[in-house]
């Protein structure tokens, strides 16, 4: 049985879909890890802010605490937006995203072996 261009095209499409699904699964895993990390950082920051605010009841320190909370909320928002952009870019360009993920993994494994 010879490999016709149609069969080759179908195999390439199937491989691309499988790769896209694997990439989406990895992105979902990364998203879950990022959410967990952000929750941990946010929880720790809020705990420290609460402890600090209870030790200093009023004055300029209270304003600093509120500013820090605003900055933390903005950082969470930007991290969420960045996650959405990465996910959308990976969906729009699955092959490029796969190559970047492969390159990053290769680089990380190279650096960890040293």
pLDDT digits (tens, 9 = 90+) for 47-106: 777 777 666 656 677 788 888 899 999 998 998 888 888 888 888 888 888 888 889 889
- For residue 114, what are its two tokens? 């040293």
In this predicted structure, the answer to whether residue 2 has a pLDDT above a threshold of 60 is no
Query: What's the average model confidence in pLDDT over 18-38?
Result: 82
The C-alpha angle with vertex 19 and arms to 16 and 25, in degrees rounded to 5, equals 140
For residue 93, CA distances in Å to 84, 88, 104 come to 14, 9, 16
Model pTM score? 0.41
Long-range CB contacts (< 8 A, 24+ apart) of 96-99?
Answer: 97/23, 98/19, 98/23
């Amino acid at each position: 049985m010879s490999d016709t261009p149609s069969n080759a095209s179908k195999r390439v499409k199937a491989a691309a879909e499988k790769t896209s699904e694997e990439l989406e699964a990895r992105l979902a895993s990364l998203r879950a890890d990022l959410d967990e990390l952000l929750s941990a950082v946010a929880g720790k920051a809020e705990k420290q802010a609460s402890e600090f605010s209870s030790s200093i009841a009023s004055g300029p320190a209270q304003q600093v605490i509120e500013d820090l909370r605003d900055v933390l909320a903005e950082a969470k928002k930007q991290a969420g937006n960045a996650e959405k952009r990465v996910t959308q870019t990976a969906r729009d360009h699955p092959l490029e995203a796969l190559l970047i993920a492969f390159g990053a993994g290769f680089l990380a494994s190279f650096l960890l072996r040293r």
